[in-house]
């Protein structure tokens, strides 16, 4: 019988067992097994002629507010239909086993919170916090669930109740700065941690992609969980090739935090 956790290096299991401060840094890949397309998966439907990077910009919203708002409403409908997966749940359980756990995500969904993680730092904002593109007034979605926008439908953004300008998604677009409080908390956590787990991110978007590098510079152990290689491979101490929903529960079990059969 093969060693139950042979895909988890013993040195990593020991580092997790001994860690006092752990940072879990996630990207779109951690929500993939919840059925949410990763950011760089080819866009389909009306958006197939755009790439996500081009749509996730203030310029795109200015010139095609209905395409950009339609895209985010389609993504928000996906998130509302989705459930947290075994990776989100294992990350939430991890908080019971380490003295300090910081969850820092680039994702704009709320699956970490719905799995039970608290104090999640959202570096790129949230689909659930739309605001006015002119006066910043927060906007409340009518009944919380978007009409089922079929893929590719253009939807005019609602008008701000206060000033009438178009409401925008509550996310950080390319060329926009990150929310200062989330970013400062993330940097502090990365520079003080013993172990940083980079899970489901292509490690290409800055400044978020700096976090594992800051943890390395501060002497922390860095492990990456991703079925594919990323620019972080060369510097991470451990590269676990596989799906987060499969590896995360095994990682907790390999550290003796819980029995292996946990879902």
Residues 6+ apart with CB under 8 A from 234: none
Pick 50 or 192: Cβ nearer ligand BV8: 50
Alpha-carbon distance 187 to 206, whole Å?
13
Residues 6+ apart with CB under 8 A from 209: 201, 203, 231, 232
Segment lying near Zn ion (by CB under 5 A), choices 53-61, 135-143, 186-194, 253-261: 135-143
122 belongs to the catalytic site: no
The partner in contact with residue 160, picked from Zn ion, ligand BV8, none with C-beta cut-offs of 5 to 8 angstroms by kind, is Zn ion
Among 42, 144, 181, 206, which residue interacts with ligand BV8 (rule: CB under 6 A)? 206
Segment lying near ligand BV8 (by CB under 6 A), choices 90-98, 151-159, 184-192, 199-207: 199-207
b vs e for 170-181, b when ≥16 Cβ sit within 10 Å of the residue's Cβ?
bbbbeeeebbee
The partner in contact with residue 27, picked from ligand BV8, Zn ion, none with C-beta cut-offs of 5 to 8 angstroms by kind, is ligand BV8
Among 162, 188, 204, 235, which residue interacts with Zn ion (rule: CB under 5 A)? 162
| Distances, alpha carbon 189 to alpha carbons 64, 74, 106, 116, in Å | 38, 33, 15, 20
Alpha-carbon distance 196 to 139, whole Å?
35
Nearest approach, Cβ of 175 to ligand BV8 (angstroms)? 5
Q: Token digits for 213?
A: 């590098």
Nearest approach, Cβ of 20 to ligand BV8 (angstroms)? 26
Q: Out of 122, 124, 128, 238, which one is annotated catalytic? A: 124
Residues 208 to 227 in contact with ligand BV8, rule: CB under 6 A: 225-227
Sign of CA dihedral 167, 173, 176, 177: positive
Q: Which residues make beta-bridge pairs with 138?
A: 131
Site for ligand BV8 contains 171 (CB under 6 A): yes
Residues 78 to 107 in contact with ligand BV8, rule: CB under 6 A: 106-107
The pattern of x and - marking residues 194 through 233 that bind Zn ion according to CB under 5 A reads ----------------------------------------
Can you give the length of the chain in residues? Answer: 263
Site for ligand BV8 contains 15 (CB under 6 A): no
Contact between 46 and 67 under an 8 Å Cβ cutoff? The reply is yes
Site for ligand BV8 contains 244 (CB under 6 A): yes
Site for Zn ion contains 159 (CB under 5 A): no
Alpha-carbon distance 105 to 75, whole Å?
17
For 240, which DSSP code? E
List residues binding ligand BV8 (CB under 6 A). 27-29, 32-33, 38-40, 56, 106-108, 124, 171-177, 200-202, 204-206, 225-228, 230, 243-244
């Amino acid at each position: 019988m093969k060693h139950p956790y042979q895909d988890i290096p013993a040195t990593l299991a020991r580092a997790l067992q001994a860690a006092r401060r752990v940072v879990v840094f996630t990207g779109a890949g951690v929500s993939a097994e919840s059925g949410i397309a990763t950011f760089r998966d080819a866009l389909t439907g009306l958006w197939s002629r755009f790439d996500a990077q081009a749509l996730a910009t203030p310029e795109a919203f200015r010139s095609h507010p209905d395409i950009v708002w339609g895209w985010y409403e389609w993504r928000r409908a996906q998130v509302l239909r989705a459930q947290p997966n075994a990776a989100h749940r294992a990350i939430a359980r991890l908080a019971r086993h380490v003295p300090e756990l910081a969850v820092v995500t680039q994702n704009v969904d709320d699956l970490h919170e719905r799995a039970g993680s608290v104090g999640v730092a959202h570096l790129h904002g949230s689909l659930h916090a739309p605001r006015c593109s002119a006066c910043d007034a927060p906007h409340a979605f009518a009944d919380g669930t978007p009409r089922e926008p079929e893929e590719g439908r253009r939807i005019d953004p609602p008008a701000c109740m206060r000033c009438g300008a178009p409401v925008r998604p509550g996310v950080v677009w390319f060329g926009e700065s990150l929310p200062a409080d989330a970013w400062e908390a993330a940097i502090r956590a990365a520079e003080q941690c013993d172990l940083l787990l980079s899970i489901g991110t292509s490690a290409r978007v800055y400044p978020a992609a700096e976090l594992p590098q800051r943890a390395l510079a501060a002497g922390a152990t860095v492990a990456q969980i991703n079925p594919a290689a990323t620019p972080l491979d060369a510097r991470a101490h451990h590269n676990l090739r596989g799906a987060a929903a499969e590896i995360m529960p095994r990682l907790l079990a390999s550290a003796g935090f819980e029995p292996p059969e946990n879902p």
